[in-house]
Amino acid sequence: IGATINNIDLIKKTIQKKNLYIKASGGIKSFLKFKKMIDAGATRIGTSSSLKIMNELKWTQRVTLFYQKKALI
């Protein structure tokens, strides 16, 4: 199953103000799940799908840029 948002949230609450990092790994195979883990508080990601995630990130950035330019017209 791997890391879940609830796992990350629980770890974040447990360590609170300590200077520790949270690594999420297992089952992170898409940019969407990667982003959700980072948004939940993970500071590091372990995945064997890094190339796929980076390609999805590039695509997401291109789409965002396209719509931003379109909004300026």
Spatial neighbors of 38 by CB under 8 A, at least 6 apart, are 45
Structure pTM? 0.79
**Which pLDDT tens digit goes with each residue over 6-64?**
999 999 999 887 888 999 999 999 999 999 999 999 999 999 999 999 999 999 888 88
